[in-house]
Amino acid sequence: MIADGKQDIKSIFADDRYFEIPNYQRSYAWREKQLRDFLDDFSHMENYKKYYYGTILLQHKENTDDTYEIVDGQQRLTTLIIFMSCLIRRLEQIGLTDEAADLDKKFIKYKINYVLKLQDQDDGFFKMYILQPNDKADHKTPAQRNLWEAKEYFTKALETADKNDCMAYRTRLLAANCLVYSVNDRNEAAMIFETTNDRGKILTNLEKTKSFLMYKVSSAYKNADSLLNTIQQGFNDIYATYESLKSKPKFNLDENSIQQYMFIAYETWKNKKVNGKSYKAYQHYMGELKDRVNNMVKDISEAKEDREKYELAMNKYIEGYIKNLKESFNAVNGMYGTTGKFKNLLTLGRMASLWPLLIKAYWIDKPDDKKKFNELCSWCEIFCFRGLAMQKYLSNKYDTRWYDITNSFKGDFDKLFNQIKQMIVGLGNEEKFLEKMQTKDFYKDYSPADRNYFFWSYENYLRDKMGYARLSFDDLWQTDSKKKLTIEHIVAQSDEKDKNRILKDEGNAKVGGRVTFDREYLHSIGNLAIDPASANSSKGKKDVEEKNSKYFVKAPLMSQNELDTFMEGGRWTLESINKRRDALLAFVKATWCFDFKEEEVAEIAEEHDSEEVEMEE
């Protein structure tokens, strides 16, 4: 058995001990910053000084004499093993084979068994690619990528190390001190883990939630095994889902945000006032969780009779919380696998207010086709494009309304759609929206992402009408400097000759008394088209007629092919720009406008008012 207290690394890794990381623990997460800190600590330490490597919490594995599960410290110990495997390779390269064999027996493989076993999904990769001298690896998860990058980082750091350097590392590492605690059951492990912290990466709220729940269940229940298993397995599933999410295109949510969105969607909450200041419960979701669980623990401890009733209540709450948390992560994962309107929302961004509702609606809409969910995304896209992108309302202005709608949503999609329609009406009438689309400075007023989204949508509108394959989201999200989408000025920004010719053709050649072409037409939607960067640059300052004959009519984009139909006698004129503007506005009306009748607006507003009263009550 491993004794508690301060021990050096050499003593912990005795010849007859093995270590395992339980499946419920986080996968390997250290990146370059933590690896650099690890290496710096040992590189700049005098040999005679003993370095403190942190706290290690171990649980003796049942029915074994020599195996320990790592409850806390798994990131540190995994990193240590990776570094040792790289050091062993370097020792072998410079001829110190005896020293390499001694380290291999302690830290890599003793007799026929590996000293460290990772979680099931990563263990095979760890043993085959990290602990063996492979130059390439097929990593399938973010954790496996992190493991491989750690091996590459240490390999590169040691590639010039000589005999003295390698032996110095060996001496310092073996002498480093750890504070070791070993426990016999998970109850005790959970209690200690709640008061410890893993060095390197700050614990996320999700990790804190797991340890908090394990600690409270262990302290409150006489027999906690069943509920502890539920917590452990639940978080194991959540971590696995989140790891797969990290590889999805356009995924930029952290796990804390998903947990907060779950709280908004499923937990009972309302805003409060403390000392006259507004208190938004969903911004303090961790505190709310702890308050609720602590109150349940208090009820259990103070129960003189019917203790079982209070335990069942706490059991129900924790199981429900974990169930909703799992479903929320699964819902986000499912959304990123869709091909529908959800990806339009991803492209537009500004989704913080929408995420809780999307998560809840995705899970409630059970059919595989997700018809109702996709319809919801369509209404949300109208709201985002009209209000947030084109009219530049701040998204957080609508947080409370979206969150109220989400929390009260129980599955009535028709009612939900009416609520969103009412919010869209509140953005302003359609004339106001159309005015924004006709701004003379459209190119300057809106970001490249919003401009590209608009013209990409128009391109697909034309393709849908003709039954052609659509441009993909990959085309829209392209980051390659040559392939990414840009905005082409049909009359080039710097082509004064073309501008003067058009003004002259229109009888508008005078310098004074009339607004300039640049101010009125150059940056308006009628003079803009979507174009890949490489194609855009190849056109340069050429006049429109040359662009049209050599490029537009032969382009793979229908929105460029059709420019020829707006020409006046083979020439691009102010009337051409106006006609194209009108064609684009027709698309805008078909896509983001809907003709509300006055009585329908009044009905929606009345429903909204009655719901506000219910919420206040």
Q: How many CA atoms lie within 13 A of 226 on its CB side?
A: 8
Predicted pLDDT of residue 507: 67
Instruction: Quick: pLDDT tens for 352-368.
Output: 999 999 999 999 999 88
Q: What is the mean pLDDT of residues 463-473?
A: 93
pLDDT of residue 275: 74
Per the CB < 8 A criterion, the answer to whether 256 and 205 are in contact is yes
- Segment holding 221, helix H or strand E: none
pLDDT band for 46, please (50, 70, 90 cuts): low
In the chain, where the domains are located: 5-201, 203-337, 339-428, 440-592
Q: How crowded is residue 597: how many other Cβ atoms within 10 Å of its Cβ?
A: 8
Instruction: Name which of 61-70, 311-320, 345-354, 450-459 the model is least confident about.
Output: 61-70
- Span 431-448, pLDDT tens digits: 889 999 999 999 999 999
Residue 412 CA to residue 364 CA, distance in Å, equals 10
Categorize the per-residue pLDDT at 196 as very low, low, confident or very high, splitting at 50, 70 and 90. low
- 3-state secondary structure at position 195: coil
Per-residue model confidence (pLDDT) at position 471: 93
CA torsion, ordered 329, 333, 335, 339, to nearest 10 deg: 180
Comparing C-alpha atoms, which of 104, 113, 126, 111 is closest to residue 28? Answer: 126
Cβ 182 vs Cβ 13: under 8 Å? no
| Per-residue pLDDT, 62 | 81
Edge-first strand listing for the sheet containing 52-60: 5-8, 177-183, 52-60, 67-72, 18-20, 116-117
Looking at the predicted structure, is the pLDDT value of residue 576 above 90? yes
Rounded Cα distance, 155 and 165, in Å? 14
Would you state the structure tokens that stand for residue 557, as one six-digit string? Answer: 């984009």
b/e map 267-290, b = 16+ CB within 10 Å: bebeeeeeeeeeeebbebbbebbb
- pLDDT value of residue 156: 96
Question: For residues 62 and 434, which has the higher predicted lDDT (pLDDT)?
Answer: 434
* Model confidence at 613: pLDDT above 50: no
Give residue 601's pLDDT band: very low, low, confident or very high (50, 70, 90).
very low
- Residue pair 217/99 in contact by the 8 Å Cβ criterion: no
Element (H, E) at 349: none
CA 161 to chain centre: 39
Sole residue written with tokens 């990131």: 75
Query: Which residues partner with 273 through β-bridges?
Result: 278
Q: Which of 201, 219, 10, 208 is nearest to 102 (CA)?
A: 10
Residue 333 to residue 514: CA distance in whole angstroms = 56
Amino acid at 340: G
Q: Which of 441-450, 486-495, 497-506 has the highest mean pLDDT?
A: 441-450
Token pair recorded at residue 241: 């889902």
Q: Is residue 598 over pLDDT 60?
A: no
**C-alpha closest to that of 573 among 501, 499, 500, 502:** 502
pLDDT band at 324 (very low <50, low <70, confident <90, very high): very high
**Chain mean pLDDT for the chain:** 87
pLDDT of res. 604: 46
Q: State how beta strands 52-60 and 5-8 pair.
A: unpaired
- Residues 443-457: what's their mean pLDDT? 96
**Rg of the chain taking only CA atoms, in angstroms:** 31
Among residues 452, 575, 564, 585, the alpha carbon closest in space to that of 521 is found at 575
- More confident position, 89 or 184: 89
Distant-in-sequence, close-in-space partners of 48: CB < 8 Å, separation ≥ 6? none
The amino acid that residue 428 corresponds to is: G
Q: What is the DSSP letter of 208?
A: H
Of the listed ranges 180-189, 206-215, 338-347, 367-376, the one predicted with least confidence:
180-189
Average pLDDT for 107-121? 91
CA 590 – CA 586 distance, rounded (Å): 6
388 DSSP 8-state letter: I
